[in-house]
Chain A
Amino acid sequence: MVRVARKNELLPGTLEMLILQTLTRSPMHGYGIAQQIQQISEDVLQVEEGSLYPALQRLLVKGWVKSEWGLSENNRRARYYTLTKAGRNQLGIEADNFNRMIAAIARVMQTA
């Protein structure tokens, strides 16, 4: 899945949430998304390509992103993904869930 430095298991669906978040700013192609996540997380989160493309396909099927072909920075054909309105909604939902989850885990850890 998403490989953290310590090879932890993350909650399922996190990758998709991260992808959606990355697309809020501007459309991107697959490689760009992976790079972005890596950079912003300061190399903690490294997206395995094996999970990236299946995740992108899932998002396409669910209608949370849409894709179109365009030209990349170095004039190569690349597929750009854009967030849809439904995707934006979904991102909100997932972010809320995620935050609630994190807060709960934090509470448990504090009482230890």
Chain B
Amino acid sequence: MSRIAESWRKLQFLLRRRQMDKELAEEMRLHAELKAQKNIAAGMQPDEAQMAARRQLGNTTLQQEHSRANWGFPRLESLVQDVRYGLRGLRNRPGFSAVAILTLALGIGSATAIFSVVNAIILRPLPYKNSQHLVHLWSLNTAFPEFHMGMSLPNLDEVKAQTHSFEAFAPYKTKRGTLTGEGAPERVVISSVSSDFFSVFSARPLLGRTFEPADDQQKNGDVVVLSHTLWRRRFASDPHILGRVIHLDQKARTVVGVMPAGFTFPETSEAWTTLTPSAEELRNRTQWMFFTVARLRPAVSPAAAQSELNTLAEAMKTRYAEDMAGTNFLLTTLHDDAVGSSRSQLLVLLAAVGFLLLIACANVSNLVLARGLQRRHEIAVRAALGASRSRVMRQLGIENLVLALAGGAVGLVLAAYGVSAFRQLAPADFPRLDELRIEPLMAIFALLISTTSGVLFGLAPALTVSRTDPGTAMKPRGIENPTHARGFSLRDALVVIELALAMLLLTGSALMVQSMSRLLKVDTGLRTDHLVTAELNLPPARYSSENSQVAFIRQLLESLAAQGPISDIAVSNNAVLDQNTSLISFDPSLNGSNEKKTNLESKMVSPGYFSTLGLHLINGRFFDEHDTKGASIMIIVNQSLANRFFPGQNLVGRSLRFSGEGKDQYTVVGVVSDSRDIHVSAKPRPEVYFSLLQDPSRSLYVMVRSRLEMPAVRALLEKSVWAVDKDQPVSKVRTMAEVIAESVADRRFRTWLMSAFAVFGLSLTLIGIYCVISYSVSQRTHEMGIRMAIGASRENVLGLVLSSGARLAAFGALTGLVASFLMMRVLSNQLYDIKPNDPLTLIGTALLLLLVALLASYVPARRATRVDPMVALRYE
């Protein structure tokens, strides 16, 4: 308690410092006067008495200072003073400060950004209570161990009865269904779950309730729980939603609850219904259709549970030999499932960025050392005035810390941009991307690494510089360490490594950027301008017969054709340029060809497909409305197919056999041009087209061309579809440009990352070279002066410095070239249409690097030429 009172008093004295000063001075004056009086009384002369009194009083300044030390918090104040000196020093040397802060900002910023990503995606636990105990149970067949299947219900019963590792189980199935009723029909993700599903996650509802055991037997009728997003989007967050009836897949269900925002397990579920297994599903041990989440008992580890499952599987193989043949159970943690393959990628990123940070620190260390040596005079004066070595080191340390924190602040801003850029550019299926945010934790992390960096890069220079002996340092400049032999120091080696690394990153980035641009310019053989696509999935319940499907398609085509602004229409059973296709097996030997049996791309298309997508007719004709059911099946093939299996032959009118069975025989009516309709990077394959009116499908992709903007086209599409069937949802409406962009999103993301690192690496290297050359120039000032005095011209000196820079650059570029040559093949499967050892790229980046290095050496070189020989020689 007294400590607090004491501190309070100290604070008060601190605030009233000026007054205290005056009072103390007055007090001491009185003291001197009284003493003088005493001396006079003892017999001295008045002025002698006064002088004696003052002499006895001693060093008033020092006393006042000692007294003042009791006011306030001296240690804190000297800290504040050091910080002020630090800031002033930074302001006075803007060049140095800017370079150092920028370097640190790059290193700290990138480290913070990547850390944020790693934290959000890998480190942070899933947003469920005690998520480390949540696991997924799978069945797998030893013949295809990568293919994970769900559990069958009888097997799940066995696991429940025979194992002790689990607390609760929740089987579920997910599908896409139709939501109809007021408003547009929509396709939503529906999960059917057991009644204790929500309790496995300890998830409480926002409104109403989740399921209870009575719901399993549907004692309460058909119920449904909504997700937060669906409730907000479709029902405008209606607080009276409970008890309302909605129609899912034509079935009426009562809403009994709404989940809070953020709960969407599994996948992106929008509604949960009860699991109502059929009698067959309850009985059949090999229907591996039920994905299952389970909660481990508190003390049980996943490994222990897995071994229990293995034992059970073995036991079951004897009991149910036929059903369980080759089957094993697998357990994975929910966390691993979510994070998946991104873990290794992100850890590599983390390592790379840690490396960048170290290089940044090394650079700044060089800079600070060089600057410190320039300040030797100043430090010597401090030491002469009485500063101890530790005091000097503390001051230098605090200045470095100020620098580091400034760099950290800028770095934090960079990191914030970096994180939002990452969110936008990362491919949509990157795990847990929506959990990545800009958050206060980033600031804490940035603070931490700034401080660590400050200590790291400041330690060596502070130690060196504080050792300054006042004596030698006070001697006039010029009599410094004689130039050491210009060997290859550690600093030089570091710069060469930086150069090589920068070259690697630059080459990689250049290759990927070129690859990306070539990819985007590729001729797909398709017309994709002004095209909008949409996906329709006809529900099996209402479109079970092929006739009903054909009827829908016909009516849809008519309805679309009636819309004025729509110029071209195409419908297919497969998306175009969305990495989707169907295959059909083809035996060429049945048709007189020597080629082996193979799979062909196959598509069902509407008559307008070919003209809409710009495919050319080479021979024969396109499909038309007369190619209907009942007539013999017509096919159209593409050029690749014709050239590969039947070169030089006329296929039009020929009948092709696809397999040994009787019916598999079709007449070719046309040959069309090739196209890359699976992906921009995939070469065209032999393809066969069927008419959608002869061979319909329930999953349809509609493509229309219109000059109107997207929202207007979407409205037209919906209007046309709903004119045919008002309950048919129209999903995934996108422009073709968006489809193509999404299909290369992965690659674009990697290119972006690589380029970002390349730019950073190059900047750091530039700074590194500048530092090293700068330092060596400051060491050799004396030497330069002498050279110029005995006749070297400014150009000679310039050349001398530039040549040392060029030497470093040459070493670095050479090492970089060799490294690139060896390592670029790592990228070869990412590159499109460009070889990893593309000579132009390699030479180009090497030249760029040399140029940059020379540029970085130029500034210190110019400084060297401005040395005045007279000054340099004066103290010879």
Stretch of A7-15, A75-83, A92-100 at the chain-chain interface = A75-83
The 0/1 profile, CB within 8 Å of A marked 1, for residues 46-90 of chain B is 000000000011110011001101110000000000000000000
A62 to chain B, nearest CB (A): 6
Could you tell me the dominant secondary structure of chain B's interface residues? Answer: helix
A50 surroundings in chain B (CB, below 8 A):
58-59, 62-63, 66
B16 to chain A, nearest CB (A): 12
Interface residues of B in 7-42 (CB under 8 A from A): 9-10, 13, 23-24, 26-28, 30-31, 33-35, 37
Q: Is A58 an interface residue (CB 8 A)?
A: yes
B30 surroundings in chain A (CB, below 8 A):
29-31, 72, 76-78
Q: Is B6 an interface residue (CB 8 A)?
A: yes
Contact between A53 and B63, CB atoms less than 8 A apart:
yes
Q: Is B790 an interface residue (CB 8 A)?
A: no
Contact between B67 and A54, CB atoms less than 8 A apart:
yes
A60 surroundings in chain B (CB, below 8 A):
9, 13, 70
Contact between A48 and B9, CB atoms less than 8 A apart:
no
Contact between A62 and B6, CB atoms less than 8 A apart:
yes
B26 surroundings in chain A (CB, below 8 A):
77, 79
Q: Is A57 an interface residue (CB 8 A)?
A: yes
A57 to chain B, nearest CB (A): 4
Among residues of A, the one whose C-beta sits closest to the C-beta of B8 is A63
A31 to B24, CA, bound (A): 13
A61 surroundings in chain B (CB, below 8 A):
6, 9-10, 13, 70-71
B57 surroundings in chain A (CB, below 8 A):
49
A48 surroundings in chain B (CB, below 8 A):
58
A53-B63, A60-B9, A79-B23 known; A86+B2 contact, CB < 8 A:
yes
Contact between A30 and B27, CB atoms less than 8 A apart:
yes
A34 to B37, CA, bound (A): 15
A110 to B238, CA, bound (A): 96
The 0/1 profile, CB within 8 Å of B marked 1, for residues 2-33 of chain A is 00000000000000000000000000011100
A72 surroundings in chain B (CB, below 8 A):
30, 34
Among residues of B, the one whose C-beta sits closest to the C-beta of A77 is B26
Contact between A76 and B33, CB atoms less than 8 A apart:
yes
Q: Is B5 an interface residue (CB 8 A)?
A: yes
A31-B35, A58-B70, A86-B2 known; A53+B10 contact, CB < 8 A:
no
A31-B35, A62-B6 known; A78+B28 contact, CB < 8 A:
no
A62 to B30, CA, bound (A): 24
A106 to chain B, nearest CB (A): 32
A34 surroundings in chain B (CB, below 8 A):
31
Interface residues of A in 26-45 (CB under 8 A from B): 29-31, 34
Among residues of B, the one whose C-beta sits closest to the C-beta of A73 is B34
A19 to B360, CA, bound (A): 58
Contact between A57 and B71, CB atoms less than 8 A apart:
yes
A62 surroundings in chain B (CB, below 8 A):
2, 6
A35 to chain B, nearest CB (A): 8
Contact between B6 and A49, CB atoms less than 8 A apart:
no
A63-B9, A86-B2 known; A49+B27 contact, CB < 8 A:
no
A31-B31, A72-B30, A78-B30 known; A53+B24 contact, CB < 8 A:
yes
A31 to chain B, nearest CB (A): 4
Contact between B9 and A29, CB atoms less than 8 A apart:
no
B58 surroundings in chain A (CB, below 8 A):
48-50
A30 to B24, CA, bound (A): 11
A90 to chain B, nearest CB (A): 10
Contact between B27 and A29, CB atoms less than 8 A apart:
yes
A57 to B57, CA, bound (A): 17
B63 surroundings in chain A (CB, below 8 A):
49-50, 53-54
A53 to B64, CA, bound (A): 8
Contact between A57 and B35, CB atoms less than 8 A apart:
no
A110 to chain B, nearest CB (A): 38
B70 surroundings in chain A (CB, below 8 A):
54, 57-58, 60-61
B27 surroundings in chain A (CB, below 8 A):
29-30, 53, 78-79
Which residue in B2, B31, B66 is a CB contact (below 8 Å) of A54? B66
Contact between B6 and A30, CB atoms less than 8 A apart:
no
A31 surroundings in chain B (CB, below 8 A):
30-31, 34-35
B27 to chain A, nearest CB (A): 5
A33 to chain B, nearest CB (A): 10
Among residues of A, the one whose C-beta sits closest to the C-beta of B57 is A49
A79 surroundings in chain B (CB, below 8 A):
23, 26-27
Among residues of A, the one whose C-beta sits closest to the C-beta of B12 is A61
A46 to chain B, nearest CB (A): 10
A22 to B134, CA, bound (A): 76
A77 surroundings in chain B (CB, below 8 A):
26, 30
A61 to B73, CA, bound (A): 11
Contact between A49 and B31, CB atoms less than 8 A apart:
yes
A63 surroundings in chain B (CB, below 8 A):
2, 5-6, 9
A79 to B25, CA, bound (A): 11
B71 surroundings in chain A (CB, below 8 A):
57, 61
B33 surroundings in chain A (CB, below 8 A):
76
Contact between B6 and A53, CB atoms less than 8 A apart:
no
Which residue in B10, B23, B28 is a CB contact (below 8 Å) of A49? B28
B56 surroundings in chain A (CB, below 8 A):
49
Among residues of B, the one whose C-beta sits closest to the C-beta of A49 is B57
B66 surroundings in chain A (CB, below 8 A):
50, 53-54
A78 to B5, CA, bound (A): 26
Contact between A57 and B67, CB atoms less than 8 A apart:
yes
Interface residues of B in 644-668 (CB under 8 A from A): none
A48 to B56, CA, bound (A): 8
Among residues of A, the one whose C-beta sits closest to the C-beta of B10 is A61
Contact between B69 and A54, CB atoms less than 8 A apart:
yes
Among residues of A, the one whose C-beta sits closest to the C-beta of B64 is A53
B2 surroundings in chain A (CB, below 8 A):
62-63, 86
The 0/1 profile, CB within 8 Å of A marked 1, for residues 318-354 of chain B is 0000000000000000000000000000000000000
A97 to chain B, nearest CB (A): 17
A88 to chain B, nearest CB (A): 14
A73 to B672, CA, bound (A): 122
A-B contact sample (16 more), CB < 8 A, given A54-B69, A74-B37: A30-B27, A30-B31, A31-B34, A34-B31, A48-B58, A50-B59, A53-B28, A53-B67, A57-B71, A60-B70, A61-B6, A72-B34, A77-B30, A78-B27, A78-B30, A86-B2
14 A-B Cβ contacts within 8 A? A31-B30, A49-B28, A50-B62, A53-B28, A53-B66, A54-B67, A54-B69, A57-B71, A61-B70, A63-B6, A76-B30, A78-B27, A79-B23, A86-B2
Q: A residues touching B (Cβ–Cβ < 8 Å)?
A: 29-31, 34, 48-50, 53-54, 56-58, 60-63, 69, 72, 74, 76-79, 86
Would you list the 3 A-B pairs with minimal beta carbon distance, nearest first?
A54-B66, A57-B70, A57-B67
